[in-house]
């Protein structure tokens, strides 16, 4: 009788949780029915999972910097999305330049095909055709975005660092607009094709088609995440960052170099944002001035779902958001496919309803 009594109490005290659990069970049952009945092939299901993992890794990678900023500096940086955009544009400008400098004028290449510049198919940028230009572009994307984030901190955030979080948040919105329209000033306001998809090889793994760019994203994304983990857990600097996140005043009293930790936070956050922006363009093949801004809501959703301030929460939240947005397409077909991203936000709301602190909970860099 005791399990029965506990069940009745759960239904009475948390009916929402019971409803969500019932819906989840129905969806899982329907998924198995589709797989067994032939309505959904294993290859198509695997494709959804792979796409969700790629998207989730990118969102999680970008979310690490946002989470670090919040845990150590105490404000939500709305300019983070535009760091992503600048990482994409700076990196791909260099990748274009190196790939086509022997055939085209440097100006058109640096503007990534704007105006009368060469088309993506003419330059032929891809990981297999021009691997050195792709790697160099990634390095520049990271370095340039680190420079942007440090400059913004020096001239905007540092003078008002003693203000409350709302003041910093509003300042970050102003920075976001300034950075976004600087891209329009130097480049363009439309969407431009960048990579030459026709030259990207694909591999068939049990019916799941994976291309070389997606593999590159997964390898680079996992390597960067492992690097962040080792930094936070195995180095003195990582311990100092965790101490700052837990108690900034106590960290100052114990002699932790606060400014050095803040500088490192911007370097990590900016660098990872730049890398994420560059890799997003690598997988989708197009670039736009509002690229990071459009991703920012998904990044915030991942960070909030995972637990604001938790690096691992941002990663897990990104993976959950990515998988939810892709797997929902099993049921959202045709015109309903546009609701894939709202499903991810709905999942975030459900998680917060029953675990307000997020999956990992608590403000911590770990």
Residues ≥6 apart with Cβ < 8 Å to 288: 190, 191, 192, 294
Instruction: Inform me whether the pLDDT recorded for 345 exceeds 60.
Output: yes
**Model pLDDT for residues 319-333, shown as the tens digit of each residue:** 999 999 898 888 887
Asked whether the predicted pLDDT for residue 141 surpasses 90, the reply is yes
The pLDDT of residue 364 is 54
What is the average per-residue pLDDT within 294-314? 90
Q: What are the pLDDT digits (tens) for 245-300?
A: 777 777 777 788 888 889 999 999 999 999 999 999 999 888 999 999 999 999 99
* Statement: residue 13 has pLDDT above 70: no
Q: Is residue 366 part of a domain?
A: no
Residue 163, in any domain of the structure:
yes
| pLDDT bucket at 115, cuts 50 / 70 / 90 | low
Q: What per-residue confidence (pLDDT) applies to 185?
A: 92
The mean pLDDT of 337-361, rounded to a whole number, is 80
Q: What is the pLDDT of residue 149?
A: 97
58, 280 contact by CB (below 8 A): yes
Contact 150, 266 (CB under 8 A): yes
CA distance 109 to 162: 43
- Whichever domain contains 122, its CATH number is 1.10.3470
Domain for residue 137, yes or no? yes
- Burial of residue 204 (number of CB atoms within 10 Å: 0-12, 13-18, 19+): exposed
Spatial distance between the Cα atoms of 216 and 214, rounded to a whole number of angstroms: 5
Better-predicted residue by pLDDT, 9 or 254? 254
Greatest Cα-to-Cα distance within the chain, rounded to the nearest angstrom:
80
pLDDT number for residue 60: 95
**pLDDT more than 70, % of the chain:** 90
**Cβ contacts of residue 44 below 8 Å, gap of 6+?**
207
Mean of all residue pLDDT scores within the chain: 86
* Angstrom distance (rounded) from CA 187 to CA 82: 14
Among residues 218, 268, 225, 209, which one has the least CA distance to residue 73?
268
11 falls within a domain:
no
Query: Do 245 and 365 form a contact (C-beta atoms < 8 A)?
Result: yes
Classify residue 6: in a domain, yes or no. no
Q: How confident is residue 353, by pLDDT bands cut at 50, 70 and 90?
A: confident
Instruction: Determine, yes or no, domain membership for 7.
Output: no
**Higher pLDDT, residue 68 or 17:** 68
Q: According to the per-residue pLDDT averaged within each range, which of 88-97, 99-108, 308-317 is highest?
A: 88-97
**pLDDT for 365 beyond 60:** no
Task: Tell me: pLDDT of 108 over 60.
Answer: yes
Strand, helix or coil for residue 149:
helix
Q: How many domains does the chain have?
A: 1
Band (7; pLDDT cuts 50, 70, 90): low
Residue 364 counted as domain residue: no
pLDDT value for 295:
92
Tokens representing 181 are 């329209």
Is residue 3 one of the residues assigned to a domain?
no
What six digits make up the tokens of 88?
A: 């994409």
At 101 the pLDDT is 86
Show the beta-strand stretches assigned E in the chain: 191-193, 202-205, 208-211, 286-288
- pTM of the full structure: 0.90
How far is it, in rounded angstroms, from Cα 361 to Cα 306? 7
98: containing domain: 20-354
Taking the C-alpha atoms of residue 158 and residue 88, their distance in angstroms, rounded to an integer, is 26
Q: Binning pLDDT at 50, 70 and 90, where does residue 316 land?
A: very high
Task: Work out the pLDDT band at 335, boundaries 50, 70, 90.
Answer: low
Q: What is the pLDDT of residues 48-84, one digit of tens each?
A: 999 999 999 999 999 999 999 888 888 899 999 999 9
């Amino acid at each position: 009788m005791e399990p029965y009594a506990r069940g009745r109490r759960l239904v009475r005290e948390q009916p929402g949780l019971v409803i969500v659990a019932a819906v989840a069970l129905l969806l899982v049952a329907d998924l198995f029915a589709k797989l067994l009945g032939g309505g959904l092939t294993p290859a198509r299901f695997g494709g959804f999972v792979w796409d969700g993992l790629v998207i989730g890794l990118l969102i999680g990678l970008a979310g690490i910097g946002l989470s670090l900023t919040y845990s150590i500096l105490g404000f939500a940086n709305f300019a983070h999305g535009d760091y992503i955009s600048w990482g994409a544009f700076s990196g791909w400008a260099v990748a274009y330049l190196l790939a086509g400098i022997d055939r085209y004028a440097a100006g058109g290449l640096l503007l990534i095909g704007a105006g009368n510049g060469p088309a993506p198919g003419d330059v032929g940028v891809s990981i297999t055709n021009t691997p050195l230009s792709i790697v160099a572009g990634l390095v520049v994307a990271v370095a340039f975005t680190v420079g942007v984030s440090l400059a913004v901190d020096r001239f905007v955030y540092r003078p008002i660092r003693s203000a409350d979080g709302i003041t910093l948040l509003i300042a970050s919105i102003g920075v976001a607009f300034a950075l976004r329209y600087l891209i329009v000033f130097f480049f363009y306001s439309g969407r431009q094709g960048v990579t030459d998809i026709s030259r990207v090889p694909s591999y068939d793994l049990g019916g799941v088609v994976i291309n070389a760019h997606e593999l590159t994203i997964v390898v680079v994304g996992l390597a960067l995440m492992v690097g962040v983990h080792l930094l936070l857990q195995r180095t003195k600097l990582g311990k100092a960052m965790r101490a700052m996140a837990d108690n900034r005043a106590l960290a100052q009293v114990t002699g932790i170099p606060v400014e050095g930790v803040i500088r490192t936070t911007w370097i990590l956050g900016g660098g990872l944002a730049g890398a994420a922006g560059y890799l997003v363009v690598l997988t989708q093949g197009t670039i736009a001035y509002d690229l990071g801004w459009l991703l920012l809501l998904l990044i915030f959703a991942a960070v909030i779902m995972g637990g604001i301030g938790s690096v691992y929460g941002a990663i897990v939240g990104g993976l959950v958001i990515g998988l939810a947005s892709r797997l929902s397409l099993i049921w959202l077909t045709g015109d309903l496919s546009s609701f894939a991203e709202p499903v991810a936000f709905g999942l975030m709301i459900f998680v917060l309803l029953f675990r307000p602190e997020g999956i990992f909970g608590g403000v911590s860099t770990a």
